[in-house]
Structures are given as structure tokens and as C-alpha cells.
Amino acid sequence: MTGAPTDVDAVVVGAGFAGLYAHHRLRALGLTISGFEAAADVGGTWWWNRYPGARCDVESMDYCYSFSPELEQEWTWSERYATQPEILRYLNHVADRFDLRRDIRFDTRVTAATWDEASQRWDIATDRGDRVSAQFCIMATGCLSQAKQPEVDGIDTFGGDIFHTGRWPHEGVDFTGRRVGAIGTGSSGIQSIPIIAGQAEHLTVFQRTPNFTMPAKNAPLDPDAVAARKARAREIREAMRSSRAGVIVPMPEHSALAVDDGARQAHYEKAWNTGTLYGMVAAFNDLLVDRDANDTAAEYVRDRIREIVNDPDVAERLSPRNHPFGTKRPCLDTDYYATFNRDDVTLVDVRATPIVAITPTGIRTTADDFELDAIVFATGFDAMTGPLLGPDITGVGGVKLRDKWAAGPRTYLGIATAGFPNFFIVTGPGSPSVLVNMAVAIEHHVDWIAECIAYLRDRGLASIDATLEAEDAWVDHVNQVADLTLFPQANSWYMGANVPGKPRVFMPYIGGFPRYDEVCRGVAADDYRGFELTPATAPEPAPST
């Protein structure tokens, strides 16, 4: 498509959980929509991440849409933590059921979005030559959608196969009889390593930073429990929305330091055995704010590692010591630590003996050469800002988003950024996003955006733009809250630390979902406090004859 742009009310970029719901919600307002998705179909995260062992780590029955009670009743999850294929089937079902594909152009990447001050509209361009003019641009581009490509010398010389967990081949990979190297021990590495180890002739795990991970205790869901849950679905959803992390977690009343050793250990053991992400993190009320309290949780996990892993030296190398517990995204696993008891699995500490290069036959560290047939990069994502800074986005006065965010992202509520009117980000930096159940965060954002658009249209307003003052105050607040916690002490992807040269800024909002929701509601109820609203320009009067 070339020539004059097509006119629509809104462009939605991305067709994962967020993009799909945005189509549904905006269509209900009567908007015309053009959707673009770089992948060949719907699913987002769950379309791209097809590595062995990929599954959610928020329980399936919580990690799904709540907007349709009928959908909630008719869909039945099979496992406590659903696999990637099952989640993808669910999102396909949602797309079919609500007819959400019809406005989406797949295999199409948005490359530029430019604000046209005269028409008060966005001019959007794609890598397939599309040009669309839209009043609103909704970036449902995901927090973890830009795979971070490995930067290792000699990578192009490798004679075997290279895979990235975030761009896994659809036909799957059989590692039987192959010597495999895995680089990266974040969530994707921790989920895939036990399964790859079960197939490969030999697996060498190259670990830079050990991570805290807890047993998922995954299991098929009991039909009676599912029925009971469905019977109380609405009530549970309400409780989720008013809980700190978008999932129901009992709020602890005690400091980890206020109880004696025996009581503390017993409490951790119970938390460990819940098989949930939040069980351990929320075991006491000060684990994320007090280093001494945090150390007790970290030591509990290290004890478990020493218990599971037979070789004390390997156990020590697997034990995280460089960051407080919970300040990098903790993981849930199935048999991760036990995998290192296998004779055909080797752990290489690349902090002690760094990788020097990839060679035609494998990986060279400062200590050894490892002969490999395949390398798996589980190196994660350019999180939160990567997908927003990929396209060339230009706002008022020709200012580029890339320049505005050169020292780190700046948003108002994580939804808007000053100087980019009618530009909405779903779960952007400065919102709870990756710290909470994202299904809840996504619905919350899309609802807020849809209500905002309805407000503008009802009043004949052309645009809405965050003021710099509101944005500055919000950024300060996000930083102040983060500084009350231990999170900034970790070199995490929350801080941009996994991408060389990326500014170190704690990106998500850690003030909790209810507090955030209260602020967002307050802003809307106060006629979009902190935003500048611009009326549509009156049409030029017709010349009198």
C-alpha cells in the first residue's frame, strides 16, 4: 500500500494480550482501527517464545482475561501453569471468538509514527509500505517483545546451530545426540535447561549470574477445583484487582527479623512449598526493603540449593550472592537445580572464566574450549523500552522519542509521554507492568485508555498530551518509591542492566497495583489532571459569495 494514507480513528501496534483486548475495547466504542503485528499471527509473547519448557509463572486461572464472564466460564485450563502452546491456543480462541483478526495486518512491523501538528493526527508507516493516518496511536508492543541479540565475538563463525529462546523455530528442535551450550540463566534459561538436558548428549550451561528460582509444583488442574473457582470467578477477579501484584497473596504482617529462627524457617518452608512466584517474596513484609531481612530469605534458598545439588562446588556456583532475593525477577522451575546433578550437564561460571569468543566448533572461555553442535541463547529482552524505541517515533516539534528518552524513559503514569499527544502505551515504563500479573495490568491500561478516548470524543476534543510538570512529578515519584526498596541494588533488566549502554533507571512502578489504580482513577475523575486537552480546530468558514 503506498500513496495517500488510509484514515482510521486508531492504530493498534501489537497483537498479544494487550493488542487483542485493545481491538475489542476500541471497536466497542465504534472506532475504526488498523492493527499491525510483526508476527504472522496473534499471541505476542506466546507466539514468539516457543522454547522447550515455556510456560506462565502466574497461575493459568489468574493469567487470563477477565473482561468477558462468558469467556471465563467456557475456557478451561489443563495445568496449574499452562504451557506456551496452551496459552497460544487460548489467545487464538479469544481472537476467533471476538473476531479480532479482521483489522490486523500480520507480518507487518510499524517502522515510524509521526505526529502531524496541523491535522492533530499520527502518520504511521510500516515495513510493507502501509501509510495510515490515525487520531490515536496505541502501542501494545509488549514489555518483553524485543529479543536481546547476543553480542559475542565470532558468533558468525559458528558451524553449528544457534537458537534464541525468544525466537524459537516453530517446528521445534530435537537436541538428541547433540552437544549443546546454553547461555543465560534468567527465566527462559531456567525453564528450558532441564528439558534440553534431558535430550542432549551433553549440556554445558554458561552462567554469568545465578538466579533465585523456586519449585513451581506444576500439576494438572483438578476439575473440582476449577469448577469451584469458576463459581467464584467474579469475586476472585475483584480481589485480584485490589491486591498488590494483581494476584491474591496473603499480606504478611511480620518482619522476617521479628520472629525467631525456628518460626522463620517454618514460614519459609511453607512459602517455598506454595509453588508460587509470590509465596517466598511476600513471606514477610520487609524482604524487599530491608537487606538483613532479605538475607534470611536468600540464605533459605541457598540452603535449598545445597540440599538439592550433590556437588558442593556446583551448589555454591548456583547460589546467588550478587543481588538481594526478589530484586531480579524470581523464577519458578521444574527440576532446575537437580539438573546439575546429571553427569551429562556441566556448569561453567563465566564470571570466573569469561567467554572469549564463539569459534567455528564451540565456545572458548579464558580457561577452556567447549566443543558444541548447538548454542541456545536465553539472553532475554531489551525490556520495556526496546519495542518503543525500535520504530522512529516523532512527536510535537519534531522531537524524537529516542532523544527524549536518551537518559531513560519518562512517562506520566506509564501510559503517556509529554510531547506525544494521543500516543498511549500499554504497560509502559512507569507503570506496575512486569512487577504484577500482566493480564490484570493490561486490562487495566486498555480500559483506562478506552475511557480516555471516549471522554475526548464525547467532548469533541482533538488531542490529549501529558504536561511536563505532571510527567516530572510522576517520574520523581516512581524513583522515590523504587529507592525505598532493594530493587535498585540489582543489575537487573528492570534497571536496563542487561543491555550494554542502556541507561540505568528502575523502569516499572513498584508502589503496588491498588495505589497505582487509585492514581489513574483520580486523574481521570479530575478531568485528566496533568494532561493538556486540545479542542478540535473549528473548520474554516466557507468564503462568502
CB nearer ligand FAD, residue 314 or residue 434: 434
Answer yes or no whether residue 278 interacts with ligand FAD by CB under 6 A: no
CA 444 to CA 438: how far, in whole Å?
A: 9
Query: Which of 189, 215, 362, 387 forms a contact with ligand FAD (CB under 6 A)?
Result: 387
Tally of residues, the chain: 545
Taking CB under 6 A as the rule, which mask of x and - marks residues 439-478 in contact with ligand FAD?
---x------------------------------------
Q: How far is the CB of 392 from ligand FAD (least distance, A)?
A: 10
Q: How far is the CB of 380 from ligand FAD (least distance, A)?
A: 8
Q: How far is the CB of 524 from ligand FAD (least distance, A)?
A: 21
Identity of residue 130: D
Answer yes or no whether residue 492 interacts with ligand FAD by CB under 6 A: no
User: Which residues have CB under 8 Å from 504's CB, separation 6+?
Assistant: 408, 495, 496, 497
Q: Is 153 in a helix, a strand, or coil? A: coil
Answer yes or no whether residue 211 interacts with ligand FAD by CB under 6 A: no
Answer yes or no whether residue 237 interacts with ligand FAD by CB under 6 A: no
CA 521 to CA 515: how far, in whole Å?
A: 10
Answer yes or no whether residue 426 interacts with ligand FAD by CB under 6 A: yes
Query: Which of 145, 207, 417, 422 forms a contact with ligand FAD (CB under 6 A)?
Result: 145
Strands 131-139 and 423-425: parallel
Answer yes or no whether residue 427 interacts with ligand FAD by CB under 6 A: yes
Strands 121-126 and 110-116: antiparallel
Q: Is 283 in a helix, a strand, or coil? A: coil
Residue with cell 550451561: 205
Query: Which of 45, 135, 204, 411 forms a contact with ligand FAD (CB under 6 A)?
Result: 45
Buried b (16+ CB within 10 A) or exposed e, 21-30: bbbbbbbeee
Helices (H), 83-129: 84-97
CB nearer ligand FAD, residue 137 or residue 144: 144
Answer yes or no whether residue 110 interacts with ligand FAD by CB under 6 A: yes
Q: How far is the CB of 174 from ligand FAD (least distance, A)?
A: 21
CA 396 to CA 466: how far, in whole Å?
A: 12
Answer yes or no whether residue 210 interacts with ligand FAD by CB under 6 A: no
Answer yes or no whether residue 58 interacts with ligand FAD by CB under 6 A: yes
Structure letter (DSSP) for residue 133: E
Q: 402 exposed, middle or buried (CB, 10 Å; 0-12, 13-18, 19+)?
A: middle
What is the 3-state secondary structure of 27-95?
Answer: HHCCCCEEEECCCCCCCCHHHHCCCCCCECCCCCCCCCCCCCHHHHHHCCCCECCCEHHHHHHHHHHHH
Answer yes or no whether residue 63 interacts with ligand FAD by CB under 6 A: yes
Q: How far is the CB of 44 from ligand FAD (least distance, A)?
A: 2
Answer yes or no whether residue 37 interacts with ligand FAD by CB under 6 A: yes
Query: Which residues are near ligand FAD by CB under 6 A?
Result: 13-14, 16-19, 36-39, 44-45, 47, 49, 54, 56-58, 63, 109-110, 140-145, 188, 387, 390-391, 426-427, 437-438, 442
